[in-house]
Amino acid sequence: MITLDTKLNAALNTQVANWSLLYTKLHRYHWYVTGPHFFTLHEKFEELYNEAAEVVDEMAERILTIGGKPVASMKEYLEVATLKENLDEKSAEKMVENLISDYQQLRAELKEITKLADEEEEPAVEDYAVGLINSLDKHIWMLNAYLG
């Protein structure tokens, strides 16, 4: 079992913060997307923010399960997150481009978590991170395909 001050606990809390920020960003995209692909993206962004909410819950519960303490306030999320809010996306294409960038960053950080989980002998965390990486790979591929 890990302790509160391990690199793995810190990395998992960064993910809780990032996915919480992403949830809010995706909600904003869902509300503000316009243009010829409105219906497609409006629905997709809803699907993705629901997924982000599940990830936050599962990640926080995983942290608690292994003896850690998840960040749990907007103040903490903004202090810990490595993703940025980027409130300047005006077009659907910019929203998708930013989302791809966020997903690529999350993917890279999750790869690091798989290494830390292996070092700290936490196979369930490693498996969970690998599953998220697989999901992100598909999202990145599909969003890039949307952009053409």
| pLDDT by residue, tens only, the chain of 148 residues | 445 568 999 999 999 999 999 999 999 999 999 999 999 999 999 999 999 999 999 999 999 998 889 999 999 999 999 999 888 888 999 999 999 999 999 999 999 999 999 998 999 999 999 999 999 999 999 999 999 9
Is residue 77 domain-resident? Answer: yes
Q: What pTM, to 2 d.p., does this model score?
A: 0.94
Q: Which domain holds residue 28?
A: 7-147
The contacts of residue 55 (CB under 8 Å, 6+ apart) are 15, 19, 132
Q: Is residue 110 part of a domain?
A: yes
Rg (CA), the chain: 16
100 domain-assigned: yes
- Residue 1 resides in a domain: no
The CA–CA distances, whole Å, from 14 to 8, 19, 35, 79, 83 equal 10, 9, 34, 9, 9
Q: What is the CATH number of the domain that holds 69?
A: 1.20.1260.10
Query: Are the C-beta atoms of residues 99 and 29 closer than 8 Å to each other?
Result: yes
Residue 138 within a domain: yes
* Residue 140 in domain: yes
